[in-house]
Amino acid sequence: MPAVTRREYTGPADLRAMQALAQRIWSPSSSVHVGDLAWQRFQHVGREAEWPTALWEAGSEVVAWGWVSLPGELALLVDPARPELASEVLGWFEDTAAAAELTVTVLDAEKHVVAALERSGYALQESSVFQPYMSRLLEDLPEPVVPGGFTVRPVGADDLARRVAVHRAVWHPSRVTEASYRNVMTAWPYRGRLDWVVEAPDGRFAAQCLIWLDEHNAVGELEPVGTLPEFRRSGLARAVCLAALHAARDAGAREAVVYPVIGHPKSPAALPLYRDLGFRPYARTLTFTRTHRRIPPSSGSASPEGAHRRT
C-alpha cells in the first residue's frame, strides 16, 4: 500500500482531486456530492485565505481531505478504507484553526469519522439547525406546472445578470456575484441545461434550481434552490425543481439528492417542499465541538455566510 503524504490545496485542479475521492467512495450513505464541492468552492470569490485546505494522497490518489472555515469549522472526507486518516485530519485542523472552540459537522453514517472525533475528545451537540440528507429515485416524475404568464426553462447564454439577481434576492445578504457565478458555470460538473429558472411575466427570474450531475454514479444534487419572497406559495419552487429533475433524468441520472437546512430562518419551507417532491431522508448531520487546546497566533476571519452550506 503506498505511503500517505499530505499537501496544501493549490487551486481548482486540487478541487477536482477532492471531487474524485467523493465520486469514488459514493454510496447511499455518502456525505459529499461532487456538485456540492464545486458550488461551495466557487460560489464566492476572494475567500481562499479563509479556507485552509489540505489533501492526503496515497500515490496519485486522494484518500482524505480537510477544508477549514476560519476561525474554527471543519469539513472533511476520509476514505472508509483508510479510517486512521480521520485522526490525522483532526490533528491538522487543530494546528490550523484559530477559534477557542472547534466545530466539525459530519454525517451520522460516517462511523469511522465519528469514532475519531470521540477519541479526540469532541462532544456531540444537540442543535435545532441540522441537515437531513434526502434522496429520490427519478421514476414517475410529475410534469412541472406554472401559473399563466410564467415560463420554466434552462438558463441561457445572456441570463447571467438575472440568474445572479434571483439568487442574491433569495439568499440576501449573499456574496454571490456575477464574477463568482461565472466561476461556478465553468466548474466541473456544471451543465447549463441543468440550471433551471422560472421567468415571471415582468421578465424577472422568480425561482431557481441548479442540479449537479455525478455521471459516474448517476446521481444529481439540487443546490441551490429558491424562490423570490413575493412569489412563494405559488408552486414555482415545485415546478422549477421538477423541470430540473426531468432534465437530470434525461442526462442520465437515476437518483437525486438534496440537503435542506432545517431550522434555518431562510429556508422554513424546504423540508415540506422536498417531501412533496417525493424525497425521503436517509441520513442527517451531526455537529461535534471541542475546546481548542492550542490556538495559533493568526486568528483569521469568519464568514457571515459560513464555509460549506447553502448560500
Instruction: Please name the residue that has the C-alpha cell 437546512.
Output: 261
Mention every residue, 6+ apart, whose C-beta is less than 8 A from residue 77. Answer: 18, 21, 22, 25, 31, 32, 64, 65
First to last CA, the chain: 40
Q: Give dist(CA 130, CA 262) in Å, integer.
A: 5
What does the block give as the cell for 132? Answer: 437531513
Q: Summarize the confidence of residues 295-301 as an average pLDDT.
A: 54
Write down the pLDDT at residue 291.
Answer: 96
Query: What pairing do the DSSP bridges indicate for beta strands 101-107 and 73-78?
Result: parallel
- Structure confidence by residue, pLDDT tens digits, 61-71: 999 999 999 99
User: Coil, strand or helix: which one is 173?
Assistant: coil
Confidence of residue 157 (pLDDT cuts 50, 70, 90): very high
pLDDT of residue 300: 46
pLDDT digits (tens, 9 = 90+) for 102-131: 999 999 999 999 999 999 999 999 876 688
pLDDT in tens, 12-57: 999 999 999 999 999 877 889 999 999 999 999 999 999 999 999 9
Percent of the chain with pLDDT over 70: 92
Question: CA-CA distance, 245 to 254, in Å (whole number)?
Answer: 10
pTM of the predicted structure, to 2 decimals = 0.91
User: What are the backbone angles phi and psi of residue 184, rounded to the nearest 5°?
Assistant: -60, -45
- Looking from the CA of 265 toward its CB, the CA atoms found within 13 Å total 3
3-state secondary structure of 209: strand
301 or 154: which carries more pLDDT confidence? 154
Residue 131 pLDDT: 86
pLDDT of residue 297: 57
Dihedral angle computed from the Cα positions of residues 209, 215, 217 and 220, in that order, rounded to the nearest 10 degrees? 0
pLDDT band at 298 (very low <50, low <70, confident <90, very high): low
Number of CB atoms found within 10 A of residue 202's CB: 7
Per-residue b or e along 221-251, where b marks 16 or more CB atoms closer than 10 Å to that residue's CB: bbbbbbbbeebeebbbbbbbbbbbbbbbbee
